[in-house]
Amino acid sequence: MGAKYRADPVAAVRSQAFIKTLHDHLAGELDASLLDSARREGVQVMKEVKLFGSHKPKDADVAVVHPHNGPLMIVGVRSQMSSIGNNVLEYYQGIVGECISLQDRFPMAVIGYVYLHPKVSKKWRTVNGKKVLGDEFPDHARYAKMYSAITGRDGTSYKDIRGVYDQFAYMVVDFDAKPPTVDDGLVQAGVPLAKNDLRVSTFTDRMISTFKDRHIWMDMFQ
């Protein structure tokens, strides 16, 4: 993965290799936590599920779906590998809108998001008429604060809250390391762990914990 990214970050994103690997990981963790009784009810962990949002269909990256009651849990995933500073605010607006659309349609579902940035991103520049791939150093602490501001839907009135995810994970990946590693320290420089947990390593556990706290009458997860 690291070699593919360093060779051509744009092609790496378009190939969907990173995202599909992350989809498989998240789906596998959720599936491993499903109770046998939930499986007997027909509950499934599904990838790339088309859901009807409040205004248009949405392809959910990972979802835990009940055969009669619809999605119990919805997870969105995005990687932004290059030209981060140019596009991050546009994508931020998009994921907030996506959250609102899904919460309008499925207010009781637990909805989370996983966002991936490289530690050092790449940006194409034109130098002397030639395209050159150079380094770009994202402001990870700032972005961590942005994502922290749209997570933590909670309380007894959670069904009335829109535009705030139940859980969020912000991954900063060092693709120069062999193998690539997640650098939580860069995230926690902006949002200390005591304020908000944005680690991907705890994401599925946090999603399941929110589900259990919210739906104490549903036995779906270990």
pLDDT digits (tens, 9 = 90+) for 21-36: 899 999 999 999 999 9
Q: What share of the chain is helix, strand, coil (3-state, %, to 5)?
A: 40, 30, 30
Amino acid at 21: T
pLDDT tens digits for range 137-163: 999 999 999 999 999 999 889 999 999
Instruction: Calculate mean pLDDT across residues 177-196.
Output: 96
Q: What is the reported pLDDT for 86?
A: 86
User: Per the structure block, which two tokens stand in for 36?
Assistant: 């046998």
> What is the predicted pLDDT for the residue at 10?
59
Return mean pLDDT, the chain: 92
- Identify the helix (H) or strand (E) that includes residue 87: helix 84-105
| pLDDT category of residue 83 using cuts at 50, 70 and 90 | confident
Greater model confidence, 155 or 51: 51
CA distances in angstroms from 14 to 4, 47, 66, 85, 219, listed in the order given: 12, 18, 31, 19, 39
Residues 6+ apart with CB under 8 A from 133: 8, 9, 122, 123, 124, 125
- The full set of domain ranges for the chain reads 2-214
What pLDDT, on the 0 to 100 scale, is given for residue 13? 57
pLDDT given for residue 12 in this prediction: 64
Task: Report CA torsion sign: 209, 20, 168, 49.
Answer: negative
| Cβ neighbourhood burial of 99 (10 Å; 0-12, 13-18, 19+) | buried
Mean pLDDT of 166-175: 96
- Of 180, 188, 191, 221, the C-alpha closest to 204 is 221
Percent of the chain with pLDDT over 70: 93
Question: If pLDDT is split at 50, 70 and 90, which confidence band does 169 have?
Answer: very high
pLDDT over threshold 70, residue 116: yes
pLDDT at 33: 98
Contacts 24+ apart (CB under 8 A), 189-194: 189/140, 189/141, 189/144, 190/140, 190/141, 190/142, 190/143, 190/144, 190/145, 190/148, 191/141, 191/144, 191/145, 191/147, 191/148
What are 74's two structure tokens? 């919805």
